[in-house]
Amino acid sequence: MVASAQGGGEHWSSRTAFVLAAIGAAVGLGNIWRFPTLAGENGGGAFVLVYVLCVALIGMPMVLTEILLGRTGGGRADAVGSVAEVAERSGRSRRWSIFAGVEVLAAFLILSFYSVVAGWVLYYVWISGFDFLGALFSGSPFAPAFEHLTQDQVTGLMGALFGNPGQLLLQHAIFMAVTLAIVASGVHGGIERAAKWLMPAFFVLLVMLTVYGAFTGEFGHAVSFLFTPDFSKLSPVAINEALGQAFFSLSLGSAALVTYGSYVPGDVRLAPTAGMIATVDTGVAMLAGLMIFPIVFSAGLDPAAGPSLIFQSLPVAFQSMSAGALIGLAFFVLIFFAALTSSISLLEGPTAWAMARFGLGRKVTALLVACGAFLIGGACALGYNVWSDVRPLSFWPIFANADILDSIDGVTGKLMLPLAGFGLALFTGWRADRRLIEVESGLSPAMFLLWRSLVAWLAPVAVGLILLFGLFPSLLA
């Protein structure tokens, strides 16, 4: 690929390639691990309703904003360069790009712990893979999972993994290396190709497992849990959490969409694509809920089990289900695929930035970024065993009890993503040249007005509130 004078000069080969890559970035652990966890902890329906409102009114307009900033940047392949370019063409200070800089840093930090959690998924892929092979070779491919283990031993798998630093680091290293190999192969040969294979496979598995859950589990119970709002459960903290989750799940505030947007050819209409990304991402979160909760309820498990829901509760459920070994394997492979297309986008943003900033080639740059993220993630992994007493942000009340991983998750999710989104919404709503973005958006005049009002008014106000209450929850008391 020939590098243009301005940036990497790489492009998606088609609109479909872009859509798959962007949906791949959005759909990930956020949908399948974080969304059901939060919905479970916050009482289901009311949380889901607020989440959907946040996606529709703030998330979707911001997805368009970020992709649009990337493409309007005129082929600068990185988020910071793109925003600086739009600012300059609008006759504004290039310093607005500092918010894109926050996005790049956030992506780097998220990548570090995302790879650790994805490493847990990978570990469960291995063990359920061996479990299924065992069932297969003993002539019963449709056996329940972990037939030779007691229920305590199955729940104990997670604790054993967390207590084993070598194993955690190994899984983290393997996952990071796979991500690196794909990003190092470029936009075409790597990111696009991975998305074209992994996303369709992901959707097939998702539909199969949801249908299975619908027929074998307590589907009605799950539906009423997810979709019957009980407004007494709707605390301000839950609202705050829902908005933050919308950002995380849509990959907002973290350079991914601006960077992917910069590779979009000029003839692709952005608004329908943005709508599709937000719709599919939300649909997948709902399907993930409809896949997980029927199983949880039929096994009599607690929907509010928290982060251990998929690593502890579900394996127990698979243990008492016919074909549980196969279903368990399919389930963890599904999450692995989703996590991989997201981690690719998390590595791509910082890599594109560092390539433009330091003028090094893609492979070397991606390697350096991945090594840096591996080291920070390594500290997160050690935070579960050798450094389990470490509380890096103990001086900050809301993070006082957070271990290393939760601290980085908290600072990125509660502070950096909203801050970057807030800044870019203000910039796009008030400072960017109106004609420039109107043309680029491809929206009708009425829709443009609606979108711009949401970005100029609603997004900064709502996101400003998350920042405020996220950082100073005592204000809500």
Q: Which residues bind ligand PHE (CB under 6 A)?
A: 25-26, 28-31, 107, 110, 248-249, 251, 254, 256, 342, 345-346
168, 344 contact by CB (below 8 A): no
Smallest separation, CB 47 to ligand PHE (Å): 16
Smallest separation, CB 339 to ligand PHE (Å): 7
Q: Three-state SS for 350?
A: helix
Smallest separation, CB 106 to ligand PHE (Å): 8
Whole-number Å distance between alpha carbons of 398 and 408: 13
Query: How far from 77 is each of 11, 68, 373, CA to CA, in Å?
Result: 9, 13, 21
Phi, psi of 23 (to 5 degrees): -65, -35
In the complex with ligand PHE, the residue whose CB is nearer, 42 or 179, is 179
Whole-number Å distance between alpha carbons of 323 and 329: 10
Of 135, 381, 441, 103, which is closest to residue 255 (Cα–Cα)? 103
In the complex with ligand PHE, the residue whose CB is nearer, 65 or 90, is 65
Crossing angle of helices 219-227 and 193-216, rounded to 10° = 110
Smallest separation, CB 211 to ligand PHE (Å): 23
Smallest separation, CB 382 to ligand PHE (Å): 23
Q: Please give the DSSP secondary-structure letter assigned to residue 412.
A: I
In the complex with ligand PHE, the residue whose CB is nearer, 90 or 282, is 282
- The half-sphere exposure of 252 on its side-chain side, counting CA atoms within 13 A, is 36
In the complex with ligand PHE, the residue whose CB is nearer, 103 or 131, is 103
In the complex with ligand PHE, the residue whose CB is nearer, 246 or 459, is 246
In the complex with ligand PHE, the residue whose CB is nearer, 90 or 259, is 259
In the complex with ligand PHE, the residue whose CB is nearer, 8 or 30, is 30
Whole-number Å distance between alpha carbons of 45 and 253: 26
Smallest separation, CB 205 to ligand PHE (Å): 16
Tokens linked to 90: 């609008």
In the complex with ligand PHE, the residue whose CB is nearer, 24 or 324, is 24
In the complex with ligand PHE, the residue whose CB is nearer, 26 or 381, is 26
Contact partners, residue 133, CB within 8 Å, separation at least 6: none
Give the burial string for 400-414 (b: 16+ CB within 10 Å, else e).
Answer: eebbbbbbbbbbbbb
Return the amino acid letter for 455. Answer: V
Query: How far from 113 is each of 26, 55, 161, 443, CA to CA, in Å?
Result: 17, 24, 16, 37
Strands (E), 78-234: none
Whole-number Å distance between alpha carbons of 461 and 465: 6
Sign of CA dihedral 227, 232, 233, 238: positive
Crossing angle of helices 270-298 and 60-72, rounded to 10° = 140
In the complex with ligand PHE, the residue whose CB is nearer, 30 or 190, is 30
110, 352 contact by CB (below 8 A): no
Smallest separation, CB 290 to ligand PHE (Å): 17
Smallest separation, CB 34 to ligand PHE (Å): 7
Helical H segments across 383-433, by residue range: 404-410, 417-426
Phi, psi of 235 (to 5 degrees): -80, 160
Smallest separation, CB 341 to ligand PHE (Å): 9
- CB-closest chain residue to ligand PHE: 30
In the complex with ligand PHE, the residue whose CB is nearer, 63 or 321, is 63
Smallest separation, CB 214 to ligand PHE (Å): 23
Smallest separation, CB 126 to ligand PHE (Å): 21
Smallest separation, CB 226 to ligand PHE (Å): 18
Of 253, 347, 422, which is closest to residue 21 (Cα–Cα)? 347
The single residue listed with the structure tokens 């609109």 is: 15
In the complex with ligand PHE, the residue whose CB is nearer, 250 or 295, is 250
Whole-number Å distance between alpha carbons of 211 and 173: 34
